[in-house]
Amino acid sequence: MAHEKTIWPGSTQLAPVPAVLVGCGDGKTFKYNLITVAWAGTVCSDPAMLAISVRPERFSFAPISQLKEFTVNLPPAHLAAELDRCGVISGRDCDKFEVCHLTAVKGEKVAAPVVAECPVSLECRVKNELSLGSHTLFLAEIVAVQVESALIDAKGKFDIDQADLVAYAHGHYYRLGDCIGHFGYSVRRKPGSIVRK
C-alpha cells in the first residue's frame, strides 16, 4: 500500500494537544488572571509533573515566573467559547474571570486561582523555567488535583467522559469522540484464555 508523503519544514504539528485554562496570580501582588494554553503536556509520573509554555510578552508570564505557581483547569466543551476568548483577549485590559463569567477560587495548595466551573483542576508549583525561543517552558510539580465531586462514583471512580473535555488540533477545538479502548487493551487476555504462569 502506497503512502506518498509531502515533506514540509518543521512546524508545530503534534496533535491532538490539550486546550486548558491556566490560572495565575495571587490576588495580591498580581491580580487573578487566566491564559489559554495548548502548549502543555505531562512530563513525569513520579513526581507527577506537567509543563506549560508561555510567551514572555504575555500578561500572565510575570505572575507565573515570579510566584512560581499556577493552576491548569480542564474546561468542558460547553465552555469552549470562554476557553477561546481567554486566548485572544488580554488580562492587561480586563478581568477575564468577569468577562467570561467564570469563578476564581483560591487553590487548596497554591495561591493561584482554580476555575470553579472546570471539572478538573491541577494545582502546580514551578520547579524549572527554560527559555526556548518564542516560548518559555515552565516545568511544574502537580501538588493537588481538584475533581468535581459529581463526577466521582460511590466506588471513588472518576468518570472522565462526563467531564466532556476539549482537544486542540491544527487550530481547531474538538470534543472527544468514541472511546477506542483502555491502555493495554490490545494484549488483554480474553476470558477463558490460558494465563501463562
Site for its own copies in 15-44 (CB under 8 A): 15-18, 20, 38-44
Residue 178 binds to its own copies (criterion: CB under 8 A)? yes
Of residues 171 and 192, the one with the C-beta less far from its own copies: 171
Q: Which stretch binds its own copies (CB under 8 A): 25-33, 58-66, 90-98, 144-152?
A: 144-152
Does residue 193 bind its own copies (CB under 8 A)? no
Secondary element (H or E) of residue 123 = strand 120-131
Q: How far is the CB of 31 from its own copies (least distance, A)?
A: 22
C-alpha cell at 6: 509531502
Name the residue nearer to its own copies (CB basis): 45 or 197.
45
Q: Which of 61, 62, 65, 145 binds its own copies (CB under 8 A)?
A: 145
Q: How far apart are CA 77 and CA 3, in angstroms?
A: 34
Q: 38: Cβ–Cβ under 8 A, 6 or more apart, which residues?
A: 17, 18, 19, 20, 168
Closest to 162 (Cα-Cα) out of 103, 123, 122, 120: 120
For its own copies, which is the closer residue by CB, 62 or 137? 137
Determine if the peptide bond prior to 16 is cis (ω within 30°): yes
| Choice between 29 and 188, CB closer to its own copies | 188
Q: How far apart are CA 60 and CA 153, in angstroms?
A: 36
Minimum separation from the CB atom of position 68 to its own copies (A): 15
CA distances from 84 to 43, 165, 174, 197 (A): 25, 14, 12, 52
Q: By CB under 8 A, name the one of 61, 62, 106, 117 that touches its own copies.
A: 117
**Site for its own copies contains 191 (CB under 8 A):** no
| Sites for its own copies among residues 69-108 (CB under 8 A) | 72, 74, 77, 80-82, 84-85, 87-89, 103, 108
Whole-Å CA distances, 34 to 24, 31, 120, 135, 184: 6, 10, 15, 17, 36
45 to 74, contacts with its own copies by CB under 8 A? 45-51, 53, 72, 74
